[in-house]
Amino acid sequence: MKGYEFYYTQDGSIGLYSHSDGDVYHSKYGALTEAWEKFVLPSGLDKLINTKDEINVLDVCYGVGYNTKALISYILNKDENLLRKKNFFIKIFKTIINKIKNKKNEKNNNKNSNIESIDNYNIKEGNLMLSKYIETNDKDNIISKFNIDCLDINEELVKISPFLKTVFTPQEIFTQIVPKVFKCFDTYWIIRNKLSKFALKIALKNKKSVTELLDLKYNNDYDLLEHDYKIHKYANYIIINTLIDKYRDKYIDEDMEKILNIRSINKFFSKSHIRYAKCKQDYRYKFMSKLNLFTFLHNIYYNHLSIRYKDVDFKASESLIKLNFMVNDARKSILEIQKQYDIMFLDAFTYSKAPELWTVEFIAELYKKLKSRGILITYSNSALIRNTLLENKFYLGKIIDAKTGKSIGTIAAKDKSLIKEPLSNYEIGLCNTRAGIPYHDKNLSQSRDDILAYREYDFKYSNKLTSTQYMRSRLSKK
């Protein structure tokens, strides 16, 4: 992992700092919080999930996988009741209730004989019109299956992504020590302040070098984190299983072993996830024929799952989600894809560092792969990125932070009705300035330096207003 450094973010998730680019993959406020608030929640999944049989998602620049993990967590939390193992006595109780309901329905149907005859006529004659009761039942029984395609060029990051753990923040330590009952007393706030200071002392800290660069520190402003976002307990295991299917016995190879044993970064890895991956890989590819190890593997593998996952059926949850990792230049991968997507996460590295994934031509390919009612989401608010999307005939909107009221990202869609918070006239005007001049990569094969150089040339000889000139002209008009 040369060139990268891990650090703790304020929500307990782990961010990544790239020394070669001199920039971070995630903000200090939280990699997981960003994934939920900038990608998963604004995607409209609450209205889409369980309304169709299959939902296709594209995660451009998977990185260490927080967007995909948050998405898996959302899906499994949404369908928790469908996946939960049912008790034998609960099943009997429900069958009794259903029988009572059916008897009541039969009595009501006998009273409304005219309506019943019409329904019978429609069914007998082969009429397409069915009763409302049948239609609602069919809709309620739909359980969406998700196909998630993850694009990234860095194989090392993809492989270690399920091993990154989330640590307890001082806020979480406090809430575990102090019962919620104390909220009704004044002493609650006194205890909270004292214990939060104590939590700061025992909380994990970052290295001084990263702390100074990013101003990262655990402090007492955790009231700013209103939501406690979590990764579902199955998410990393589903990713591990998919990666083992992809790499087979070469998943945890000698190179991976070296990375996992580096002292400076192994504290960021979950040992239980690593043990699970090694056991699963060894069981599948090395020890299948050695019967003397069967009992040993059985105890590790099945007990490891059964201890943690007694409530939910892991196999059922895994069947809802199909992951596919395409580890290559995203420009090549996007040309190979023949699928249409409902949701796209465009989480590429900042455009000044990775311009090849923000060009007009690359976005055009994303436009082709997006369904007519699909949505593309990105964290960027820049005029350059928004103008690139506008040039590809997208309708644009803003992702608004509920607390601050500020824009924290951009939504693009083919259907204008999907945009709830459209761009203002001022923001559209900014896109038409020099700041909005886009990147170009005609054959999707040019180098980073060439893309930057061509854009710099266009910027230098453009007749458009600069962003500062545009702001001044607006102020003078006012």
DSSP sequence for 344-365: EEE-PSPTTT-GGGSBHHHHHH
Q: What is the pLDDT of residue 214?
A: 57
Q: What is the pLDDT of residue 171?
A: 57
Alpha-carbon separation of residue 448 from 254, 379, 385, 436, 454 (angstroms): 32, 21, 16, 19, 10
Q: What is the pLDDT of residue 5?
A: 82
**Residues 63 and 16 sit within 8 Å (Cβ to Cβ):** yes
Q: What is the pLDDT of residue 135?
A: 34
Q: Would you tell me how many other CB atoms lie within 10 Å of the CB of residue 373?
A: 13
Distance CA 69, CA 236 (A): 7
Distance CA 97, CA 113 (A): 25
Q: What is the pLDDT of residue 83?
A: 61
Task: Decide: helix, strand or coil at residue 392.
Answer: coil
Distance CA 171, CA 228 (A): 9
Distance CA 380, CA 351 (A): 9
Q: What is the pLDDT of residue 122?
A: 37
Distance CA 305, CA 276 (A): 9
**Residues 312 and 85 sit within 8 Å (Cβ to Cβ):** yes
Q: What is the pLDDT of residue 121?
A: 35
**Residues 349 and 16 sit within 8 Å (Cβ to Cβ):** no
Distance CA 11, CA 13 (A): 6
Sequential pLDDT tens for the chain (478 residues): 677 888 887 788 888 888 777 777 776 677 888 999 999 999 999 899 888 999 999 999 999 999 999 999 999 888 766 565 545 455 565 666 677 767 666 666 665 544 444 333 333 333 333 223 223 334 456 889 999 999 999 999 999 999 998 876 655 555 555 555 455 555 666 666 676 666 666 666 666 555 555 554 433 344 345 566 889 889 999 999 999 999 998 999 999 999 999 888 888 899 999 999 998 888 776 655 444 445 445 555 554 544 444 445 777 788 899 999 999 999 999 999 999 999 999 999 889 889 999 999 999 999 999 999 999 999 999 999 999 999 999 999 999 988 888 999 999 999 999 999 999 999 999 999 999 999 999 999 999 999 999 999 999 999 999 999 999 988 887 6
The token pair at 410 is: 């951009």
Long-range contacts of 423-430 (CB under 8 A, 24+ apart): 423/386, 423/396, 423/397, 423/398, 426/474, 427/383, 427/386, 427/398, 428/390, 429/470, 429/474, 430/383, 430/386, 430/467, 430/470
DSSP single-letter state for residue 393: T
Distance CA 420, CA 290 (A): 60
Q: What is the pLDDT of residue 204?
A: 62
Listed in sequence order, the residues at least 6 apart from 21 whose beta carbon sits closer than 8 Å to its beta carbon are: 349, 353
Long-range contacts of 261-269 (CB under 8 A, 24+ apart): 262/1, 265/1, 265/6, 267/204, 268/6, 268/14, 268/164, 268/165, 269/160, 269/163, 269/164, 269/165
Torsion angles phi and psi, residue 460, rounded to 5 = -65, -40
Q: At what angle do helices 360-369 and 383-391 cross, to 10 degrees?
A: 50
Measured torsion, CA atoms of residues 186, 191, 193, 194, in degrees rounded to the nearest 10: 150
Alpha-carbon separation of residue 450 from 363, 442, 454, 456, 458 (angstroms): 18, 12, 6, 10, 12
DSSP single-letter state for residue 435: G
Distance CA 345, CA 40 (A): 9
Q: What is the pLDDT of residue 395?
A: 97
